[in-house]
Chains A and B, each alone.
Chain A
Amino acid sequence: MEDIVNALALFANYVAVPATAYGAQLALGALGVTLIFGILRFANFAHGEMMSFGTMATILVTWGLQDAGIGLGPFPTALLALPVGILAAITMALVVDRTVFRFYRRQRSNPIVFAIVSVGVMFLLAGLVRIIIGPDDQSFADGARFVINAREFKELTGLEEGIAIKQTQIITVVVAGAVVAALFWFLQKTRSGKAMRAYSDDEDLALLSGISPERVVAICWIIAAALAAIAGTLYGLDKTYKPFIFLQILLPIFAATILGGIGQPVGAILGAFIVAFSEVMVTYAFRKFLAYLGPQDWAPDGLVQLLSTDYKFAVSFIILVVVLLIRPTGIIRGKVIV
């Protein structure tokens, strides 16, 4: 019996806890992508770099606060700086929309043109980030590291395996939960939120109803940019901030968006957790876990690891390809990328 509990603790420590935090970060990213697709009807490749840009702004302000000796005690100072990061991302998104995307909207360009344009915006933002903060890793997390560490957990429960929960993981899940709740409240209950859903449903009829397209588009960018800044900052706090990671993270985010059903906010969250758990589980070595469950002194010879962690992005890729082949509309029937 104790072996089973130990196995579960091991699983929780190495799979469930990190995957939940990662899933929450992906969910915030995927929500932004799915909203943009629902309203502007294109796949926004610049979303990853928008996350990076917002995070960079947060980091710069965090450093300033740290130098000034302003902090949040046991909590990371970055939480205090995050609103500035969000504002920076929103400003950037609105400026890009005004100067770039609006032109193509007026031309009534094909969605594929928008997608390619967003790739250009992606490179532009990536360059800007590297000019401002440089291409290197940046650490900006401070405050207490663990809510509970493995040793404390073991002493507390008397188990052989400990569960360590980082503070950033708790913050990630709590912040993501609050943001998602606020977003759904906005979409379901407010006039502007309903107008966004109506616009996403049928542009022409929304226009006939007096809903202003430019206003809906602006609100959509504001929300997507805010989500991006929050997602990027949480990801950076949980791991570290690496500018190059935001190109790679597009893959799991798009996989989550498409898996869940494009344009479906609930689907984006569902897809994000499926992708996160798949990625972590496929790259986790189950040897010790199985050893606990088997008879005494029994353990498999190999690591029982399906894929090396180097290949974790292959998981998103496989999910993406399989979904597009088998169910292009995603789990919750969404739009199909053209």
Chain B
Amino acid sequence: MSFLSATGMTGGYGAGADIIHDCTITVEAGEIAVVVGPNGAGKSTAMKAVFGMLGLREGKVLLDGEDITQMAPQDRVPKGMGFVPQNRNVFVSLTVEENLEMGAFIRKDDIRETKDQVFSLFPILAEKRNQPAGELSGGQRQQVAVGRALMTRPRLLMLDEPTAGVSPIVMDELFDKILEVAKTGVAILMVEQNARQALEIADHGFVLVQGRNRFTDTGEALLANEEVRRSFLGG
């Protein structure tokens, strides 16, 4: 049984048409799973479905064996899910440190240790801890966003296009950090536009097309797959 096992998910936003069909995503603890696919394939929607941000008409979401299909997103956070949205993922008027504190809002215990861990993972944030997050560069903001989500000590970290709009150098750096987080035993589920680079660090990859699973394999195998390369990785 995988740590996260979202199986047969079918659903869409509100009463609208289904966007994902019989979609399955699984992640093991300490591993990185990446969802890739062309624009409009339902990658972000699939991730939102895992987090409970849209109603599922069919399918089940199990976290560590517990059925959380009907649970509201905010109730999934205490269960160990951390979510970093693609846009508006930091409190722009709050300082970096306050962003981290708000990330840990549900925790009643001492958060200093976790904060130090985030600061040692992202040293630039320690340096800019008293600056409003809105004044940081795009890459630094993404670090704040990831740091904010890490403050609840999630067992599953979900990232919706963490490298959107950052330079290739910053992207490599972010991927390195994500690998580091995974090494601490956290399961990571990531949606990525930069499919090739993402699959390089992924243990498992899910290629979605029109809301359905098209290929599912290890990152390495998907990169080696001729059809995946030709259709989705640009040769």
**What CA separation (Å) do A208 and B88 show in the bound complex?**
12
Interface residues of B in 88-113 (CB under 8 A from A): 88-94, 98, 101-103, 105-106
Complex interface: stretch among B14-22, B77-85, B223-231 = B77-85
- How many A-B residue contacts, CB cutoff 8 Å? 54
- Closest chain A residue, CB of each to CB of B101: A194
Q: Which residues of B contact A67 (CB under 8 A)?
A: none
- Closest chain A residue, CB of each to CB of B77: A210
- Closest chain B residue, CB of each to CB of A194: B98
B73 interface residue per 8 A CB criterion: yes
Query: Are A208 and B78 neighbours in the complex by a CB distance under 8 Å?
Result: no
Instruction: Report the minimal beta-carbon distance from A336 to chain B, rounded to whole angstroms.
Output: 16
Instruction: Report the minimal beta-carbon distance from B38 to chain A, rounded to whole angstroms.
Output: 27
Instruction: Report the minimal beta-carbon distance from A198 to chain B, rounded to whole angstroms.
Output: 5
Query: Are A201 and B105 neighbours in the complex by a CB distance under 8 Å?
Result: no
Chain B interface, number of residues (Cβ within 8 angstroms): 21
B93, B103, B106: the one within 8 Å of A201 (CB): B93
Query: Are A198 and B148 neighbours in the complex by a CB distance under 8 Å?
Result: no
B85, B101, B106, B152: the one within 8 Å of A205 (CB): B85
A207 interface residue per 8 A CB criterion: yes
Q: Which residues of B contact A198 (CB under 8 A)?
A: 91, 94, 98, 102
Q: Which residues of B contact A195 (CB under 8 A)?
A: 102, 105
**What CA separation (Å) do A202 and B83 show in the bound complex?**
15
Q: Which residues of A contact B148 (CB under 8 A)?
A: 209
| Contact residues of B: prevailing secondary structure | loop
Q: Which residues of A contact B98 (CB under 8 A)?
A: 194, 197-198
**What CA separation (Å) do A209 and B154 show in the bound complex?**
12
Given contacts A194-B101, A194-B102, A198-B102, contact A208 B93 (CB under 8 A): no
B120 interface residue per 8 A CB criterion: no
Interface residues of A in 192-224 (CB under 8 A from B): 194-195, 197-198, 200-202, 204-211
**What CA separation (Å) do A195 and B106 show in the bound complex?**
11
Query: Are B77 and A205 neighbours in the complex by a CB distance under 8 Å?
Result: no
Instruction: Report the minimal beta-carbon distance from B59 to chain A, rounded to whole angstroms.
Output: 22
Query: Are A202 and B88 neighbours in the complex by a CB distance under 8 Å?
Result: yes
Query: Are B88 and A204 neighbours in the complex by a CB distance under 8 Å?
Result: yes
Instruction: Report the minimal beta-carbon distance from A217 to chain B, rounded to whole angstroms.
Output: 16
- Closest chain B residue, CB of each to CB of A204: B88
Given contacts A198-B94, A201-B93, contact A211 B102 (CB under 8 A): yes
Q: Identify the B interface with A (CB < 8 A).
A: 73-74, 77-78, 83, 85, 88-94, 98, 101-103, 105-106, 148, 152
Q: Identify the A interface with B (CB < 8 A).
A: 191, 194-195, 197-198, 200-202, 204-211
Give 26 pairs: A residue, B residue, CB < 8 Å, sorted on A.
A191-B101, A191-B105, A194-B101, A197-B94, A198-B94, A198-B98, A198-B102, A200-B93, A201-B91, A201-B92, A201-B93, A202-B91, A202-B92, A204-B85, A205-B85, A205-B88, A205-B90, A206-B102, A207-B73, A207-B74, A209-B102, A209-B148, A210-B78, A210-B105, A211-B102, A211-B105
- Given contacts A201-B93, A205-B85, A208-B74, 5 further A-B pairs with CB under 8 A are A194-B98, A197-B91, A197-B98, A201-B92, A209-B102
